[in-house]
Amino acid sequence: MNEFEPELEFEKGLRTARARQVRLYIIALVVLLVAVAAVALVLPSTNAIRVTILPPEAEPASKIVLAEGIGVTVGDAVYTISRTPLLRISAPGFKEIRRTILPEERGRRVTVTLMPLPGRVLARTLPPRDDSRWSFDGRRIMVGPMLDVKGQAGSHDVTVDHPFFIPVSRTVELVRGETTEVAIALTPVVGQLTVVSQPAGAAVKIAGVDAGTTPLNRSLDGGEYSVTVTAPGRKTLGDVVRITNDQPNVARDYRLLPFAATLQFDVAPSGGELLVDGRRVDPEKAYQVSASTDHTIVYLLDGYKGKTLTVQLHPDEVRTIRLGLAVDLGLVEIVTDPAAEIYVDNRLQGKGSATLELPAVPVKIELRRDGYREIIRNVVPSSTRPLAIRETLLPEATVLLAEAPRVYTNSIGMELVLFEPNDKFVMGAPRHEIGQRANEFERHVWLTRPFYAAKHETTNGQVALFRGGRGGPPDHAVSGVSWQDAATFANWLSTKEGLVPFYDLAGGRMRGINPRADGYRLLSEAEWEWLARKAGRPVRTIFPWGNVATVQLGTGNIADESANGLVRSFVPNYNDGYARIAPVGRFAAEASGLFDLTGNVSEWVHDWYSLKPPAKGVVVRDPLGPAFGDSHVVRGSSWRSGNRSTLRAAYRDGVSNERDDVGFRIGRYLHGEITPE
């Protein structure tokens, strides 16, 4: 074997491998051709699927691909032997769609609608600004240096607004599936900065650069600028201003504060009013003031002489101001008539007249004398102007009378009338008077005390407020009550209204009276007769209506013809409309202004009944009758009265028990008994 035999063997093996590979390629090609021939033989026998692509503008460049299944696509036709082939349909500028063909759709036309892809706009500003505000078609989208937004193909408005630049709007055209880039150049807004100051002439720096002195006007581009204002002796003021497109013109009025100093205070006595430059301050606290400036300090306290200081402090100085006040006294001369006790702030200082040295503070001066109305004066003595007080004291009774209402209505609706008799008159009747009775002694009396008397007799309704319901109409005069019942009612009403009770009652009996009391009571016999015969008249009369015995129609509720058979005697040819008790006030008032002193019911009065003749030549002042007795006096006629004797104003009777024709009328003294010194 020679040296070339191994090489021949290698080449022989290589040729054999190549021949084998060629045979494999030929076999694969034959198989492929057979498969293609088979498909070509089968496909024409299948039902083609036609695809219509919408919108029309998508159809020319559309593409149909058989993604799953066996078959081919020819134009808008799809030939497949697969049961449910999957198609992938696309067109430039539209979103790709995957569509599965169902068995029932084979051999039919299928419509596929492609959705257009949005266009995209990328907009940026020149120069870039992070706080640019972007709007797309009028809607705020974002804030930043760039706008990145998608939209339908077509024209759109893009607006960029930065505070320091003029707003800019652009129209951009978006193409489906494409990105449009826009660069927008911004133009700065031009504004005006105006600076004034107090004081004027202050130095101004804008963004660290000297700009001049106030007042100052400077044109500035939009932006944010630091402003510094300085003046000698004043605190430096710093500020930041912004020139913007919505506020291009900015004005500033600066008040430069002086350098500060501190005041502290030590005042004596405390409690006064401290003023610094007219402003009230707390002396317990430190107070900031401007340095190198005069300040006025005032300290005032009632009763002391005020103090005023003017001070000036250095910058940052702390100074304590000591303010001590001296007592301020004033002279007050006081003279009284009659001589009265002089009280100053409730301390007795003298009587009659006095000259007092008093602190210059508000003081209360009281002038007092028993039986006289106290006088009170509130004054402020002054060291620069003496005061003189000269006063005349009036009797308490005189003042009370002047202040008293002429008529008043009490707590249960009774009207009471004030009378000021101060009158001497004769009670009773002379022996020669027709109808005179032996118990009608002539008595000389002097009525001096003002008193109230009820306009009307007390009614059933008023007594019911005291002791519950009573029989009889509420507006009719009460009757069938004892003297004790009437006195108890008067005390009850006094207590109800805060008055001093007149009667001392216990165990159903009267133990005594309090003539100094201002509470309700029964009228005294003298008061009753004065009201019935003298009050409101020039002279004393026989009857409450006058001196003529004839009873005029409407005079009162007495025994008229309707009482014939009820009483022993009656007044013929007279009819008052009531056989018994009538409502109070139904007839005209008497000359005194009171009602029913003639008729209706006779009235209990305060006095015990007595048959003792009076002493001759004696005038009794404000009599209240005997101190004791067995019965009480009843005065006045009633619905049972039908003769001259009982209708006279002097008629009187002594009664121990209640009667159906006896009631009562209340009164009271204007005030308790007052005796001036």
Q: Note whether 391 and 336 are within 8 A (CB).
A: yes
Mean pLDDT of 445-464: 97
Same domain assignment for residues 488 and 610: yes
pLDDT of residue 674: 65
Q: Which residue range forms the structural domain that includes residue 212?
A: 190-255
The answer as to whether 27 is a domain residue is no
DSSP state of 270: S
Same domain assignment for residues 448 and 318: no
The pLDDT tens digits for 629-654 are 999 999 999 999 999 999 999 999 99
Same domain assignment for residues 380 and 526: no
3-state secondary structure of 494: helix
The pLDDT tens digits for 176-233 are 888 998 989 889 999 999 999 999 999 999 999 999 999 999 999 988 999 999 988 7
3-state secondary structure of 93: coil
Give the pLDDT band (50/70/90) at residue 14. low
Q: CA Rg, the chain, in Å?
A: 62
Same domain assignment for residues 418 and 495: yes
Same domain assignment for residues 345 and 303: no
pLDDT of residue 13: 66
Same domain assignment for residues 250 and 278: no
Same domain assignment for residues 195 and 181: no
CA angle, corner 525, sides to 521 and 526, nearest 5? 110
Same domain assignment for residues 483 and 583: yes
pLDDT of residue 320: 94
Tell whether the model's pLDDT for residue 103 goes beyond 80: yes
The answer as to whether 674 is a domain residue is no
Secondary structure, 3-state, 126-174: ECCCCCCEEEECCEEEEECCEEEEEECCEEEEEEEECCCECCEEEEEEE
Residue 182 one-letter amino acid: V
State the total domains in the chain: 6
The pLDDT tens digits for 463-489 are 999 988 667 899 999 999 999 999 999
DSSP string, 566-589: TBS---TT---S-SS--BTT-S--
The answer as to whether 339 is a domain residue is yes
Tell whether the model's pLDDT for residue 445 goes beyond 60: yes
CATH number at residue 413: 3.90.1580.10
DSSP bridge partners of 140:
135
Mean pLDDT of 267-279: 93
DSSP string, 316-331: T-EEEEEEEPPB-EEE
Give the pLDDT band (50/70/90) at residue 38. very low
Same domain assignment for residues 591 and 643: yes
| Average model confidence (pLDDT) across the chain | 90
Q: How far apart are CA 352 and CA 356, in angstroms?
A: 13
Largest CA distance in the chain: 212
The pLDDT tens digits for 569-591 are 999 999 999 999 999 999 999 99
The answer as to whether 363 is a domain residue is yes
Of 352, 377, 394, the last residue of a domain is: 394
The answer as to whether 9 is a domain residue is no
The answer as to whether 5 is a domain residue is no
Of 350, 376, 394, the last residue of a domain is: 394
Which residues, 6 or more positions from 60, have their beta carbon under 8 angstroms from its beta carbon? none
pLDDT of residue 45: 47
Tell whether the model's pLDDT for residue 105 goes beyond 90: no
The answer as to whether 20 is a domain residue is no
C-alpha separations of 465 from 335, 409, 477, 497, 540 in Å: 52, 16, 14, 14, 37
Which residue, chain included where needed, has tokens 């216990």?
506
The dihedrals phi and psi of 371, each to the nearest 5 degrees, come to 85, 0
The pLDDT tens digits for 361-370 are 899 999 999 9
The pLDDT tens digits for 131-168 are 889 998 889 988 989 888 888 888 999 999 899 899 99
Same domain assignment for residues 444 and 532: yes
DSSP bridge partners of 337:
392
Is the pTM of the predicted complex or chain greater than 0.85? no
Tell whether the model's pLDDT for residue 293 goes beyond 80: yes
The answer as to whether 15 is a domain residue is no
CATH number at residue 217: 2.60.40.10
Tell whether the model's pLDDT for residue 1 goes beyond 50: no
Same domain assignment for residues 180 and 211: no
Which residue, chain included where needed, has tokens 């001096």?
448
pLDDT of residue 588: 96
CATH number at residue 50: 2.60.40
Q: How far apart are CA 237 and CA 206, in angstroms?
A: 12
pLDDT of residue 656: 95
pLDDT of residue 468: 80
The pLDDT tens digits for 306-322 are 899 999 988 888 999 99
Same domain assignment for residues 430 and 576: yes
Of 217, 240, 255, the last residue of a domain is: 255
How many C-beta atoms lie closer than 10 Å to residue 587's C-beta? Answer: 21
DSSP state of 491: H
